[in-house]
Amino acid sequence: MPREAIRDFPALFTTGYRRLARLLYRVTGDFGRAEEVASEAFWRLHSRPPAVQTNIEGWLYRTGLRLALDQLKKDRRRARYEALGSVFGFAPNPHQVLEQNQERTRVRQALNALKADQIALILLRAEGLSYAELAAALRLNAASVGTLLARAEEAFRKEYVHRNGQP
């Protein structure tokens, strides 16, 4: 049974693309990559829309965040394998040298150590979503959003202090 196409997809893209890309930039730290991931999320929505078309924005946020987090995992895995390659005498490429010399941002490191649900809560809240919008986007009980957000922020604070000392 074919799924129904998204009603007014161009309007949804126009209103939601930049917001999704900004959110994904906070995860990836690279605006070009964030735009690619946002485009991929919209492509998935267009090519394989969800069976139930309620809360499409929430579906986009979840899909985009999962794609971005998957990309970060792939990058870490690749970096680990490339580091192993340098142990065996392979010379790093200039991009790797530049990347190794650049300081990683403290906030991104602390965020990456958190659970995906905690990252989503913190980033979507930072994007200005209300508790009700957070509950809808992440399929949470609206009454528990405040508690979950407070726990996520506390986990972030502890991870930040653990990695970097006092804020």
pLDDT at 91 over 50: yes
Q: How far is CA 130 from the centre of its chain?
A: 18
User: According to CATH, what is the number of the domain 103-167?
Assistant: 1.10.10.10
Q: Pick 1-91's CATH classification: 1.10.1740, 1.25.40, 1.10.3470, 1.10.10.
A: 1.10.1740
Model pLDDT for residues 121-156, shown as the tens digit of each residue: 998 898 888 999 999 999 999 899 999 999 999 999
Which residues in the chain are classed under CATH 1.10.10.10?
103-167
Residues of the chain with CATH 1.10.1740: 1-91
pLDDT tens digits along 49-73: 887 778 888 899 999 999 999 988 8
Q: Note the pLDDT of residue 37.
A: 94
Q: Report whether pLDDT(110) > 90.
A: no
